[in-house]
């Protein structure tokens, strides 16, 4: 295929694919911009709604088992799911609880978070998961409020966005003259200014649009993509289902207190910082504790399971970035590439603008299409008038 034919084909595909899926890409892009700082925004909303914990002496912290009792009393018909200790002395305990009629699909019935002051034991408020700010955005960004169909549509649009970016790079005028590819003539005709904005925004964000939308496609079609990545990298694939160890109830004996079990965890893994505790749904569940260690990298953590009656360590799973297979490293890198956390605050701020790019590109692309369409429409009108 000749260069001119390739360019014409790229132009046609770029135009009509962009017009067809542009609105979906705008939704995904704008919600993605908000999700870049999702943690900070969610914390701000939570603080405004429920207030902030006033730090007190460390020894006045309420024991975690009492926190669980407080949550259970406040919601007697709900089941305990997980407990998240305070991140620092300004944060509350967070107890995650599930509905008594919970469906395996948590997005149908959902769960709620109960925020409890770690010093006073006062329930600061309830945060229903399905009404939370971040869950609203994630549902819109990831599944377009359409469950499995929405996941498929968003994933396909993500892959098509990668294709749009590639065809856009083929059409970029900077290949002929580099300076012109990055220049916007603000004093030119509005048609030219519109075109210049389209080409400059497109080329500046091209690489990052590919990273965000391709990783999004991979997540939405993980069942198809993950095995390919493991196969190509010759990496052992993790089992689909993880069978968690169980406790052995002892007749006539109550389970150990959570404080006693956490002492066992500290003995087995000294120096660990508890980030999550689970295993409260049934008496047979093994107590699950997730820990991080200051000396380890951010992508490393340890999971430990204990028998709730004997305190015996049932299993320890270490997740260390250095020991991961190449396939796991690639899949784990998707999170930083998708949200722009690989470069700290500067790249996160830049990713906010990357999320705005589909909106700018669609509007400027639509205007270019309209300019091309308008003369044809005018000629047809004149021809009809002459008849």
Judge whether 96 lies within some domain: no
Starting at the edge strand that comes first in sequence, how are the strands of the sheet with 301-306 ordered?
Answer: 123-128, 111-116, 93-98, 79-84, 273-278, 287-292, 301-306, 313-319
pLDDT at 240: 56
pLDDT at position 261: 94
What integer pLDDT is reported at residue 107 of this predicted model? 41
For residue 59, what are the contacts with CB-CB under 8 A and spacing of at least 6? none
Structural domains counted in the chain: 2
Nearest residue to 18 via CA among 359, 338, 356? 359
CATH number at residue 293: 3.10.450
Taking each helix axis as running N to C, give the angle between helix 190-220 and helix 222-232, from 0 to 180 degrees, rounded to the nearest 10.
80
> In terms of domains, do 7 and 146 share one?
yes
Tokens of 1: 């295929």
Higher pLDDT pick, 88 / 366: 366
Residue 150 located in a structural domain:
yes
pLDDT (average), residues 288-316: 88
How would residue 324 be classed by pLDDT, with cut points 50, 70 and 90? confident
pLDDT single digits (tens) 206-249: 999 999 999 999 999 999 999 999 999 999 887 655 677 899 98
Average pLDDT over residues 357-377: 86
Q: What is the mean pLDDT of residues 347-357?
A: 96
Of 143, 159, 164, the residue nearest 212 (C-alpha): 159
In this model, does residue 387 exceed pLDDT 60?
A: no
Residue 52, pLDDT score: 87
Whether residue 304 sits in one domain with residue 382: no
Same domain membership, residue 304 and residue 346: no
What is the domain extent for residue 366?
3-36+139-236+340-386
The confidence band for 323, taking pLDDT boundaries of 50, 70 and 90, is: low
Compute the average pLDDT of residues 243-266: 90
> Is residue 161 assigned to a domain?
yes
Give, as one character, the DSSP assignment of residue 237: P
The answer, yes or no, to whether residue 378 has pLDDT greater than 90, is no
């Amino acid at each position: 295929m000749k260069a001119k034919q390739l360019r014409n084909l790229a132009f046609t595909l770029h135009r009509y694919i962009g017009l067809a899926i542009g609105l979906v890409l705008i939704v995904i892009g704008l919600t993605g911009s908000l999700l870049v700082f999702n943690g900070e925004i969610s914390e701000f909303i939570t603080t405004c709604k429920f207030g902030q914990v006033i730090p007190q002496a460390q020894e006045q912290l309420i024991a975690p088992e009492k926190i669980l009792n407080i949550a259970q009393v406040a919601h007697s018909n709900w089941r305990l799911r997980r407990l998240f200790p305070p991140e620092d002395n300004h944060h509350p305990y967070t107890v995650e609880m599930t509905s008594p009629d919970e469906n395996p699909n948590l997005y149908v019935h959902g769960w709620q978070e109960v925020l409890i002051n770690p010093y006073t034991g006062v329930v600061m408020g309830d945060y229903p998961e399905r009404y939370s700010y971040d869950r609203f955005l994630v549902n819109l960004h990831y599944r377009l409020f359409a469950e499995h169909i929405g996941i498929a549509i968003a994933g396909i649009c993500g892959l098509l966005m990668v294709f749009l970016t590639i065809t856009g790079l083929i059409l970029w005028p900077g290949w002929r003259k580099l300076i012109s590819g990055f220049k916007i003539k603000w004093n030119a005709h509005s048609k030219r200014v519109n075109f210049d904005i389209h080409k400059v925004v497109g080329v500046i964000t091209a690489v990052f649009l590919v990273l965000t939308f391709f990783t999004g496609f991979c997540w939405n079609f993980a069942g198809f993509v993950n095995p390919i990545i493991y196969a190509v990298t010759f990496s052992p694939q993790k089992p689909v289902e993880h069978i968690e160890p169980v406790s052995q109830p002892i007749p006539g004996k109550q389970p150990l207190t959570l404080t006693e079990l956490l002492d066992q965890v500290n003995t087995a893994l000294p120096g660990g910082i508890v980030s999550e505790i689970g295993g409260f749904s049934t008496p047979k569940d093994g107590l699950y504790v997730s820990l991080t260690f200051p000396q380890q990298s951010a992508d490393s953590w340890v999971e430990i399971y204990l028998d709730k009656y004997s305190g015996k360590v049932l299993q320890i799973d270490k997740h260390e970035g250095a020991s991961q297979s190449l396939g796991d490293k690639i899949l784990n890198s998707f999170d930083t590439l998708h949200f722009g956390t690989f470069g700290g605050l500067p790249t996160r701020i830049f990713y906010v603008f990357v999320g705005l790019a589909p909106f700018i590109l669609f509007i400027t692309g639509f205007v270019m299409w309209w300019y091309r369409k308008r003369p044809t429409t005018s000629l047809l009108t004149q021809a009809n008038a002459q008849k």
